[in-house]
Structure 1
Amino acid sequence: MLHVYFNLRKEKQNQKGLAPVRMIITHGSKKIRKVVPSVKVMPKYWSNQRIKPNLKSEPYNYHVEFNMILDDIDRKIRHIYRESLLTGKPITKDYILQRLDGKPTSMARIDFVDALDEFVATHRSVRAASTIKKYRSTIQFIKDFAEARSFELFFESIDIKFIEAFRDYAFLERHTLNNYYGKLIAFVKTFMNWALDRGYHNNLEFKKFKRTAEDIEVIYLTMDELLSLYHFDFNSRRLSMVRDLYCFGCFTGLRFSDLKALRPAHVFEDHLRMTLHKTRSTDHKIPLNKMAKEILERYQGTVYEPIPRISGQKFNEYIKECCERVGIDELICTTRYIGQRRVDQTRPKYELITSHTARKTFVTNSLILGMNERVLKNITGHKDDASFKRYVDIAENFKQREMSNTWDKI
């Protein structure tokens, strides 16, 4: 077994009273000693192999930076040890010191693509089926890139050259939108961190990769549009049920995954209680307004109780048809970016309505109607303040326009 610890060379104090820190590695009967470059500390601040913060009245002693260096060395040595076990490399002083200096590793023997498949396999029991599906799609994208660009995928090749080639392939050949490209990079970083924890590599270049994310337009139905859709007579059972399912999402703020999971046992007199699919928030309470109750009453005692269910693909197709019939056809301009290339599109609003817009409709209209933000976040289970703020901004802009359209005309 290998052990790592640090001690202070007090006998080596300089004129300022600073002593160097020494790393000591023990492996069986062997000991490897080496002074840690650039890390020096006064003995009174040394405790439990790390540097304590000094008094506020004294000059800063760099305890944060120096402790990060020591932590990084400790982590690297443990990875080197796991690497030696997997590759059969003997633990020697020269081998460890060379690895700490960043010399090439034989860990490239572990196949990168096999590790990708292992990553999916190890997450199958702890991730939703939809997440696993996204993982597989992203992995296929990476494999397509490697084949198209004749790029050899192994752990040590995931560096700045990889990210430049991958970026050009995504934007120039696949015409990938920036936000999706950002998700691809997020996956690469997650995978490389996972592999790093297992000692499959010592390549830290991936930590420099930056994920890009751009705000996009929030598409939602105004209250007038929502009520027009809700009261419209379609003379079609198929479209009426799709409308009811969509409107129920607009009246409760439930995600489509939660609507599909809704069962009679989740329904109480004036609220729902269920575990939310995405956040796994257990026993989550969602109050029911009168329109939501009306929809539940329509299907009570039927085979569709509590509400109809349909596949996401068919739902998104049919809800567009519903909104087109209702006349929700205001022209909406959307802007997206592929790298630096701007892509503007103008389409009727009904073409942009999907299952995702129901939740956005609930949040936006609730804020416009004056619902308390804290209460609303509790109902919807929002965790991300930044994404929620976008709805707040939209509501505030709506109120300002209404003020201008009323009082300012007097």
Structure 2
Amino acid sequence: MIFYPNIFILLYRTHVNYKSKVKEVERVFLEEEIKSLIEKNFTNERLSLVKDIFLFSCFTGLAYFDVKNLTKSNINIGIDGDGWIFTHRQKTESASKIPILPVTQMILDKYSNHPHCVNKDKKLPIFSNQKMNAYLKEIADLCDINKELTFHISRHTFATNVTLNNGVPIESISKILGHKNLKKTQHYAKILDRKVSEDMMLIRYKYINEFLDSKNINK
């Protein structure tokens, strides 16, 4: 048998020096689109329900299965004397405590007497995840939303546009979302940093142009 030591050394060095490149997942979320979604009225009962459930997740941060499993026992009075949602995330089994916002309460009240909620002891009626995503694509077309609308986007929307963008500390957001460590929540802060950079770029160009105009005037 013939050995080629140089080849083995080369392969070893290649393996040691190799660094895997993990592509960061782009987290899409709604910004001004959420306003148009709230204001859109659907005569179709199916689409109206899907819109409401999606908005419920946008203002609670709950994932699909957490919304589906929500029962009356999950709603209780919080430390501030107002209604809160007390639940455990199905994905991580971590506790999640969420103050109920006015829009959230309106949706809960709207479906409190729905046959599915009464018979199944559920807080909200909800289609399968597959159907929800199919109907959300239909809603996106009707609302002129150019982003790929999926149910999971609602969770990203809560973390960024609803909370972080309105000054809620990242530690509080992490606790509401049921993240086991802050590092996972910090991805949303990076998204907003990028948006800040883009927004400031517009201002930068504006003042550059004004500066150039003023120089031309003073010539």
TM over 0.5: yes
Q: Does 1:281 align with 2:98?
A: no
Any stretches of 5+ residues in structure 1 without a counterpart? 1-209, 330-348
What secondary structure, in the 3-state scheme, does the structure 2 residue paired with 1:253 have?
coil
Is the Cα–Cα contact under 8 Å of residues 64 and 151 in structure 2 kept in the other structure?
Answer: yes
Is the Cα–Cα contact under 8 Å of residues 108 and 124 in structure 2 kept in the other structure?
Answer: yes
Q: Distance in 1 between matches of 2:69 and 2:59?
A: 17
Bigger share in strand: 1
1:27-38, aligned counterparts within 5 Å? none
Q: Does 1:221 align with 2:30?
A: yes
Provide, for residues 244-296 of structure 1, a one-character-per-residue CA deviation record: whole Å limited to 9, x for no partner. 111111110011110110112212352111222112124x3111111111111
Paired residue for 1:353?
A: 149
Paired residue for 1:377?
A: 174
Paired residue for 2:14?
A: none
**Counterpart amino acid of residue 115 in structure 2:** V
Q: Distance in 1 between matches of 2:142 and 2:109?
A: 25
Provide, for residues 118-167 of structure 1, a one-character-per-residue CA deviation record: whole Å limited to 9, x for no partner. xxxxxxxxxxxxxxxxxxxxxxxxxxxxxxxxxxxxxxxxxxxxxxxxxx
Match of 1:245 among 53, 57, 76: 53
Provide, for residues 292-345 of structure 1, a one-character-per-residue CA deviation record: whole Å limited to 9, x for no partner. 11111211222244222111111110011111100102xxxxxxxxxxxxxxxx
Normalised by the length of structure 2, the TM-score is 0.73
Is the Cα–Cα contact under 8 Å of residues 249 and 358 in structure 1 kept in the other structure?
Answer: yes
Is the Cα–Cα contact under 8 Å of residues 368 and 396 in structure 1 kept in the other structure?
Answer: no
Paired residue for 1:196?
A: none
Cα 1:273/1:386, change in 2 over 3 Å: closer
Paired residue for 2:11?
A: none
**Identical columns (%):** 32
Q: How many residues align?
A: 179
Higher relative contact order (CA 8 A, sep 6+): 2
Normalised by the length of structure 1, the TM-score is 0.41
Is the Cα–Cα contact under 8 Å of residues 27 and 156 in structure 2 kept in the other structure?
Answer: yes
Q: Distance in 1 between matches of 2:177 and 2:133?
A: 21
What secondary structure, in the 3-state scheme, does the structure 2 residue paired with 1:392 have?
helix
Q: Distance in 2 between matches of 1:394 and 1:297?
A: 34
Any stretches of 5+ residues in structure 2 without a counterpart? 1-18, 77-81, 118-122, 208-219
Shift of 1:376: 0.7
Match of 2:138 among 321, 325, 335: 321
